[in-house]
Amino acid sequence: MSAPPAQSTTAPAQATWADVNRDVIRTIGMPREKYFAWLCLVALVLAAGASAWAWQIWVGIGAAGKRTPVMWAMYITTFVFWIGIGHAGTLISAVLYLFRARWRTSIYRGAEAMTVFAVMTAGLFPLIHAGRMWFAYWLMPYPNQRYLWPNFKSPLVWDVFAISTYLTISVVFFIVGLVPDIAALRDNATGYKRKIYAVLSLGWEGSDQQWRHYRRGYGLLASLATPLVLSVHSVVSFDFAMALVPGWHSTLFPPFFVDGAIFSGFAMVLVLILPMRALFNWYPYITDKHLDAMAKLILVTSLVLTYFYVCEVFTAWYSGDHFERASVFAKASQQYAWAYWGMYFCNCLVPLVLFIRRARTNAVTLYVISIFVLIGMWLERFNIIVPGLAHDFYPYTWGTYYPTITDSAIIVGSFAWFFLLFLGFIRVMPSLSIVEVKEVLPHPLKHAASHGGHH
Amino acid sequence: MAILQATHDQDDRELVRHVDLDTARKEALAGRKHAEAHPTMYTAHEYKGYRWGMAVDVDACIGCQACVVACHAENNVAIVGKAEAAYGRQISWLRIERWAEGPADHPHNGFLPMFCQHCEVAPCEPVCPVFAAYHTEEGLNGQVYNRCVGTRYCGNNCPYHVRKFNWFNYTWTAPLDVQLNPDVTVRQLGVMEKCTMCVQRIEGAKSAAREAGRSVRDGDMQTACQQTCPTRAITFGNRKDGDSLVSRLSHSARSYHVLHELGTLPGVSYLKKVVRAEPAGGHGKAGH
């Protein structure tokens, strides 16, 4: 990734409305061999993961390395990880929209797609995790002859509602945001593609009335999605906070999880956006200013996370509770110490590099830091779940969880599933919002003489 | 040998407790000093008929493990094999723990039979999303195998880790299959199971008592572990009946609850081991 020309304004001065149409629409269509090579690789990994899951369903959860007392392990770790990834997308698309942060325009489409796909990936894990996944639908409240309801006291049932709400709102928000862009695609397409895009664009003509309705609807959906940024991961954190396990039973968890979610989500946005910027030559749209803004958010959330880590250890010590203290001590010093210190390194130390101004706009540095953040955030969830359970109240059962090929393949497969969805998306839908990027460009008539950059 | 116990050091958690002889005598004369008070915001369970409970005399337990075998036979508990058991996947509903105190070369051992504590405030119950773990009207922590989805949340949340999961589909090779107890469900892959206090025997005793036109009396039935124990360390009975042996034992001065500080209010009481003097060494901590 070569460094782009320095940009200091939200929108590049040289891009025009026609450029936007051209630059976005050329990303769609028949891709080259390299794309298919990647697609095949990802599909193969996914197939390995799917076979591992089939095997696990056939022989039982024992195929994964779980045991007493570590009855939850990498599946729930990765579930929380993916749910967290989704949050940055909603933050960018909904919260920043309501705050009129204009820099969001060129990254929000990618981020929103990331949200939808991340939730679709996360949603698989409760199924993969359940001992009898064929009965997982019992967690839904549905009318049945036996008058059996789920247990509304159980945080797992809250999860079902939180995740399904999140998926529904994210998908609707995503699709609504796409409508004007799909109409632009329709106008450029021919043959059967035109017909498909025509259906998906819901008869969009771009009339004033349609725009008025669209804007209102979009604003309402943004307002609906905003509370989800806070609520969904809070509910996910209740899986732990409501339990008795030392290291889980903490009122700290909801804000701690939400912050971590946004932190890891922005890292994932960068991991996806930076290659797209280089491959599609989108330097005029995703400028240094965007990278700088995202890097700052990563830095801030990292600092807040460090504060939570300190709080976590402090409360364990200050509580005087023998179990809590032993749990923290075991995490830091026993068989999982590598994960514990690795987490601090990735989440607290590495992002400090972003205090350097040049690092915030250097694509390679940002990419490396983002990868570290993603590893660190996966380790954070691992640290809560596995070492927490491995060393809890009862010394008789303390023990180490060893991953197997089956659960590792499923975890890697989940990443393949996510990237397969994303790869598919960037070739059939505009991954840069045509409409919203145009909004922040200088108006062709009003600013004809000006050099752009101010609106 | 597959060693099932991770450590013999109870890390000051006072799982097995002891009391020296003089104190035990004094306390026995003085009677039980106070009931453990646990403030709560929730309404207590109401038990209309019986309230089953158990008492385990740690002083009497010799660690022979006969109860473990009896439980396996009575309740169709699967045998998982050496490798799986060593990895922490043994399904035994009842286990004998050995906790060592004092010098490593000549430790003072305390044996603790551990099984589902049938908590009054059971951490396993509220977390189950489908009510597979629920509180029965007679004070048992019920487990509905057919309803279990296998989220294993209860297994994590149980501080005693006595809930066992069917990691695989376990089978009984011939001729062991003909030995299966027809009164007890054979559990399938992917469900959680645990001590039921031999609920099939409880139901049998209730049925017999109903035929006789009376209610279940103390001693009408024994659990499999109780029946097998050579030293009568295990007692089962109705805790609602103040005269039953289990009530008297659980109100004795020696009785305590394992991990009582968690407020789970177990339905199983343990009686402290009586020792001649404080065991030498660092961990010697007489119970309260």
Q: Is residue B2 part of a domain?
A: no
Over range A306-332, report the average pLDDT.
94
pLDDT at res. A4: 45
A68 contact B CB<8A: yes
Min Cα separation B85/chain A (Å): 10
d(CA A130, CA B165): 12
Distance linking the first and last C-alpha atoms of chain A: 30
Mean pLDDT over each residue of chain A, to the nearest integer: 88
Q: Which residue has the higher pLDDT, A284 or B20?
A: B20
Provide the domain limits for residue B227.
46-275
pLDDT at res. B201: 96
B127 contact A CB<8A: yes
> Residues A313-323, buried b or exposed e (16+ Cβ, 10 A)?
beebeeeeeeb
Over range A84-106, report the average pLDDT.
83
pLDDT at res. B116: 96
Helix axes A288-319, A322-333, angle to 10 degrees: 130
Closest-approach residue (CA) in chain B for A158:
B129
Among A135, A393, A396, the residue with its CB nearest the CB of B6 is A396
Residues 343-402 of A with CB under 8 A from B: 389, 392-399, 402
Q: How many CB pairs under 8 A join A and B?
A: 158
Q: Is residue B195 part of a domain?
A: yes
Q: Do A151 and B131 count as a contact with CB atoms less than 8 A apart?
A: yes
Min Cα separation A73/chain B (Å): 11
A243 contact B CB<8A: yes
Q: Which CATH number belongs to the domain containing residue B222 in this structure? A: 3.30.70.20
pLDDT at res. B193: 96
pLDDT at res. B34: 60
Min Cα separation B131/chain A (Å): 6
Q: Considering the entire predicted model, what is its pTM? A: 0.91
pLDDT band at A8 (very low <50, low <70, confident <90, very high): very low
Over range A406-412, report the average pLDDT.
95
Measure Cα distances from A232 to A162, A257, B172 in Å.
5, 10, 45
Among A135, A151, A389, the residue with its CB nearest the CB of B156 is A389
Q: Do A392 and B159 count as a contact with CB atoms less than 8 A apart?
A: yes
| Residues of chain B with C-beta less than 8 angstroms from the C-beta of A126 | 151
Q: How would you write the pLDDT of chain B (288 residues) with one tens digit per residue?
A: 888 999 999 988 999 999 999 888 888 888 765 666 677 888 888 899 999 999 999 999 999 999 999 999 999 999 999 999 999 999 999 999 999 988 888 888 999 999 999 999 999 999 999 999 999 999 999 999 999 999 999 999 999 999 999 999 999 988 988 999 999 999 999 999 999 999 999 999 999 999 999 999 999 999 999 999 999 999 999 999 989 999 999 999 999 999 998 989 999 999 999 998 755 544 444 444
Q: Is residue B4 part of a domain?
A: no
Question: Measured at the alpha carbon of residue B91, what is the angle toward residues B86 and B93, in degrees to the nearest 5?
Answer: 125
Token pair, residue B51, equals 């309230």
Of all residues in chain A, the percent with pLDDT exceeding 70 is 93
Q: Is residue A413 part of a domain?
A: yes
Token pair, residue A228, equals 């989800």
pLDDT at res. A146: 83
d(CA A96, CA A239): 28
Mutate to test the interface with B, among A154, A164, A242, A400 (most CBs of B within 10 A): A154
Residue B220 is classified by DSSP as: S
pLDDT at A448 over 80: no
A236 contact B CB<8A: no
Q: Do B164 and A389 count as a contact with CB atoms less than 8 A apart?
A: no
pLDDT at A6 over 60: no
A74 contact B CB<8A: no
pLDDT at res. A445: 58
pLDDT at A436 over 80: no
Residue with tokens 């690092």: A359
Residue with tokens 């006291």: A153
Which segment of A98-102, A334-338, A353-357, B199-203 scores lowest on mean pLDDT?
A98-102
> Residues A288-300, buried b or exposed e (16+ Cβ, 10 A)?
bbbbbbbbebbbb
Among B152, B161, B192, the residue with its CB nearest the CB of A397 is B161
Residues 1-20 of B with CB under 8 A from A: 4-7, 9-13, 15
Over range A447-455, report the average pLDDT.
46
Q: Is residue B39 part of a domain?
A: no
Q: Is residue B1 part of a domain?
A: no
B28 contact A CB<8A: no
Over range A256-276, report the average pLDDT.
92
Over range A237-264, report the average pLDDT.
93
Say whether B223 sits in a helix, a strand or coil.
Answer: coil
Closest-approach residue (CA) in chain A for B164:
A68
What is chain B's length? 288
Over range A14-27, report the average pLDDT.
74
**What is the per-residue pLDDT across A163-181, written as a single tens digit (0 to 9) for each?**
999 999 999 989 888 888 8
CB A79 within 8 A of CB A129: yes
pLDDT at res. A290: 87
Residues 80-119 of B with CB under 8 A from A: 84, 87-90, 95, 97, 114
Token pair, residue B174, equals 């011939």
pLDDT at res. B279: 52
Single-letter amino acid code for the residue at A121: T
Q: Do A245 and B147 count as a contact with CB atoms less than 8 A apart?
A: no
Q: Is residue A117 part of a domain?
A: yes
pLDDT at res. A104: 80
Q: Which residue has the higher pLDDT, B106 or A421?
A: A421
Per-residue 3-state assignment (H helix, E strand, C coil) for chain A: CCCCCCCCCCCCCCCCHHHHHHHHHCCCCCCCHHHHHHHHHHHHHHHHHHHHHHHHHHHCHHHCCCCCCCCCCHHHHHHHHHHHHHHHHHHHHHHHHHCCCHHHHHCHHHHHHHHHHHHHHHCHHHHHHCCCHHHHHHHCCCCCCCCCCCCCCCHHHHHHHHHHHHHHHHHHHHHHHHHHHHHHHHHHCCHHHHHHHHHHCCCCCCCHHHHHHHHHHHHHHHHHHHHHHHHHHHHHHHHHHCCCCCCCCCCCHHHHHHHHHHHHHHHHHHHHHHHHHHHCCCCCCCCHHHHHHHHHHHHHHHHHHHHHHHHHHHHHHHHCCHHHHHHHHHHHHCCCHHHHHHHHHHHHHHHHHHHCCHHHCCHHHHHHHHHHHHHHHHHHHHHHHHHHHHCCCCHHHCCCCCCCHHHHHHHHHHHHHHHHHHHHHHHHCCCCCHHHHHHHCCCCCCCCCCCCCCC
| Residues of chain B with C-beta less than 8 angstroms from the C-beta of A135 | 149
Say whether B103 sits in a helix, a strand or coil.
Answer: coil
Q: Is residue A105 part of a domain?
A: yes
Residues 263-292 of A with CB under 8 A from B: none
Over range A315-326, report the average pLDDT.
93
CB B198 within 8 A of CB B74: yes
Min Cα separation B206/chain A (Å): 26
Q: What number of other Cβ atoms are within 10 A of residue B146's Cβ? A: 11
Residue A128 sits at φ, ψ, to 5 deg, of -60, -35
Q: Which residue has the higher pLDDT, A407 or A108?
A: A407
pLDDT at A66 over 60: yes
- Which secondary-structure segment (H or E) carries B157? helix B153-157
pLDDT at A455 over 60: no
Over range A95-120, report the average pLDDT.
85
B148 contact A CB<8A: yes
Q: Is residue A2 part of a domain?
A: no
Q: Is residue A32 part of a domain?
A: yes
Domain count, chain A: 1
| Residues of chain B with C-beta less than 8 angstroms from the C-beta of A397 | 6, 88, 161
pLDDT at res. A1: 39
pLDDT at A446 over 70: no
Residue with tokens 């003085």: B30
Q: Contacts for A372-376 with beta carbons within 8 Å, 24 or more apart?
A: A372/A345, A372/A346, A373/A263, A373/A264, A373/A267, A373/A298, A373/A302, A373/A346, A373/A347, A374/A264, A374/A267, A374/A268, A374/A271, A375/A342, A375/A346, A376/A342, A376/A343, A376/A345, A376/A346, A376/A347, A376/A350
pLDDT at A292 over 80: yes
pLDDT band at A9 (very low <50, low <70, confident <90, very high): very low
Q: Do A156 and B131 count as a contact with CB atoms less than 8 A apart?
A: no
Q: Does the ipTM surpass 0.85?
A: yes
Provide the domain limits for residue A133.
17-440
Q: Which CATH number belongs to the domain containing residue A351 in this structure? A: 1.20.1630.10
pLDDT at A227 over 70: yes
d(CA A329, CA A400): 16
Residue with tokens 């969880």: A401
Q: Do A59 and B169 count as a contact with CB atoms less than 8 A apart?
A: yes
pLDDT at res. A402: 94
Token pair, residue A53, equals 């899951």
Mutate to test the interface with A, among B143, B161, B260 (most CBs of A within 10 A): B161
pLDDT at res. B283: 47
A127 contact B CB<8A: no
Of all residues in chain A, the percent with pLDDT exceeding 90 is 59
| Residues of chain A with C-beta less than 8 angstroms from the C-beta of B191 | 131-132
pLDDT at res. A5: 45
Q: Is residue B154 part of a domain?
A: yes
pLDDT at res. A315: 92
B190 contact A CB<8A: yes
Q: Is residue A451 part of a domain?
A: no
Q: Is residue B14 part of a domain?
A: no
pLDDT at A260 over 90: yes
d(CA A254, CA A234): 4
Helix axes A108-122, A253-279, angle to 10 degrees: 120
Residue B241 sits at φ, ψ, to 5 deg, of -85, 110
Q: Is residue B17 part of a domain?
A: no
Closest-approach residue (CA) in chain A for B91:
A68
Distance linking the first and last C-alpha atoms of chain B: 36
Which segment of A2-11, A85-94, A321-330, B67-76 scores lowest on mean pLDDT?
A2-11
Q: Which residue has the higher pLDDT, A450 or A234?
A: A234
Among B7, B130, B168, the residue with its CB nearest the CB of A151 is B130
pLDDT at res. A26: 73
CB A68 within 8 A of CB B155: yes
